[in-house]
Structure 1
Amino acid sequence: MSDHPPLLPIRFPGARIGDLWAVATGEGPPLVLLHGNSEDHHVFDALVPMLASRYTLIGLDSRGHGLSPRGGVDLRIADMADDVAATLQGLGLAGVPVLGFSDGGNIALELALRHPDLVGALVLVGANLFPGGLKPVSKVTTDVAHAVAHTTARVLPGLRTLSQRLGLMVTDPNIDPAALGRIAVPALVVVGERDVIRPEHSRLIADSLARGDLVEIPGVGHMIPREAPGELAALVRGLLG
């Protein structure tokens, strides 16, 4: 950790940096981890032992998730990317690799577009550019679940956060594939063979990135950090060297 003294305050169990909860573990250069919808940094727990000997892993809880507050506005991927940017700047980090899973991958893409100096490489696991990137069954299931939660939250305010999180998948992200050509860093698009993301959509992301490659992990679905942490760790090491 001597190479990265700003990370000392967020050593496990972590601390609030700006509006986000951040926790660091491991040794070596930093690697930022961004979780998916309705999760927190613990979604990467199985991955940590496989990477912590080579990287200082920085897990962030997104706005309205884990130990980070929701704030006074609706959840939006672009705003959540700005949250990450503020936290990285607060830690004195720039040009760092970012691994984003699901909505975390969408946040990572927005981060690279809106704050390109902060990102040094991308690993995008089960990401999408717009809601139509989901397979039809997953899209319909999400839409119905959001409609039910949104209606019920009017009577049961405790469901408001769930409604907002589901609404994030219904309305966001909204990323123009043509914009991805501006992302100049090496990028790996990772999907499961049985992922909820349409295969052609994952190919669109990889082909639209200036330096994007696509890898499909056989035999797994969307939850790659939990279903295939070993394969994902190997891909990360291969990209980062």
Structure 2
Amino acid sequence: MTGPRLIADPDVVRAGSGAPLVLAHGAGGSVMTNFGQLIDTLSDTRTLIGVNYPGSGATPPDPDALRLDVLADSVVQAAVDAGFDRFPILGLSLGTAVAVTAAARHPDRVTGLLLTVGLARADEQLRLVVDTWTALVDAGNLRALAAYLVSLASPKVLGALDRAAADEAIAAQLATYPDGGADQARLAAAVDIVDICGEITVPTVVFAAGQDRIVLAETTRRLAAAIPGAKLIDYPDAGHIFTPDEAKVWIADIADFLREHRL
């Protein structure tokens, strides 16, 4: 392994106490927007550690640092700096590629992988989403981008919205959209970690969402198939971003997996 190159001046989020669980967030998200409910639920029994990628949270934008190896080394270093030698990593969307890369680059540190709505190789659905996403950012139309991202929710979520609720969801999306979101999305659309998936030997669980309109559910299932011995858990009605009720089930499944493998 080459020596690590780390994110400059990273915004590290740490919460809770107990055994560690490292968090790798998705493109256009942050540690708290992607994992806030999980942190609230598990912080009594777990130390949750995550790094906001360049352009998310308080981490300064730096497109040159948006590389899987840099992000992977940075999340590992954050856990080491917090006093932990070995730890599992939970990745979401782009964060799954970060987590797998971390496991391949740091096999002495990463003890398990929990990969949610992720990918080993970008599919055309994701590339088309990112093409539209980045075009709207380049045009400076962030409200249209927020509306577009809301429109990618699961049919169950969209079917429950009226105009007022849709406007509220768009406003919430605008309020949390990070400066580096488009650059992070471009990285997601370029992911291809198929070759290193076969190197993974730690316990792994993959969570697929049947109504995912950002990463195809079949793409996430292929991620599970690419990692030797990985367990697949399917949520047939869930979209790319889980509802609070869906997240409760996901968090319970995470806790079960960690307990089963003594991670």
Is the TM value for this pair above 0.5?
Answer: yes
User: Which residue is 1:8 aligned to?
Assistant: none
Secondary structure, aligned partner of 2:240: coil
Tell me which of 185, 188, 201 is aligned to 1:169: 188
User: Which residue is 1:34 aligned to?
Assistant: 24
CA pair 200-26 structure 1, distance change in 2 beyond 3 A = same
1:181-215: CA deviation from partner (whole Å, max 9, x where unpaired) = 21111111002121132233222211221231111
Structure 2 letter corresponding to 1:188:
V
CA pair 143-239 structure 1, distance change in 2 beyond 3 A = same
User: Which residue is 1:102 aligned to?
Assistant: 93
**Residue 149 (1) aligns with residue 140 (2):** no
What TM-score do you get using the length of structure 1 for normalisation? 0.78
What TM-score do you get using the length of structure 2 for normalisation? 0.72
User: Which residue is 1:119 aligned to?
Assistant: 110
User: Which residue is 2:248 aligned to?
Assistant: 230
Secondary structure, aligned partner of 2:232: strand
In 2: Cα distance, 1:106 partner to 1:100 partner = 8
The CA deviation at 1:162 is: 4.3
In 2: Cα distance, 1:151 partner to 1:53 partner = 44
1:112-140: CA deviation from partner (whole Å, max 9, x where unpaired) = 112222211111011112222x5x3x432
Query: What is the number of equivalent residue pairs in this alignment?
Result: 215
In 2: Cα distance, 1:229 partner to 1:115 partner = 29
**CA RMSD for the aligned pairs?**
2.6
The CA deviation at 1:39 is: 1.4
Q: Which runs of 5+ in 2 are unaligned?
A: 1-6, 142-177
Q: Which runs of 5+ in 1 are unaligned?
A: 1-16, 154-158
User: Which residue is 1:5 aligned to?
Assistant: none
CA pair 39-199 structure 1, distance change in 2 beyond 3 A = closer
In 2: Cα distance, 1:225 partner to 1:26 partner = 23
CA pair 225-56 structure 1, distance change in 2 beyond 3 A = farther
Runs of 4+ off more than 6 Å: none
Query: Is the 8 Å Cα contact of residues 56 and 181 (structure 2) preserved in structure 1?
Result: no
User: Which residue is 2:197 aligned to?
Assistant: 180
The CA deviation at 1:147 is: 3.6
**Residue 24 (1) aligns with residue 14 (2):** yes
User: Which residue is 2:148 aligned to?
Assistant: none
CA pair 162-205 structure 1, distance change in 2 beyond 3 A = closer
Query: Is the 8 Å Cα contact of residues 98 and 121 (structure 1) preserved in structure 2?
Result: yes
Secondary structure, aligned partner of 1:97: strand
**Residue 209 (1) aligns with residue 227 (2):** yes
Query: Is the 8 Å Cα contact of residues 25 and 52 (structure 1) preserved in structure 2?
Result: yes
The CA deviation at 1:222 is: 0.5
Identity of aligned residues (%): 28
Task: Tell me: higher relative CO, structure 1 or 2? Use CA pairs within 8 A at least 6 residues apart.
Answer: 2
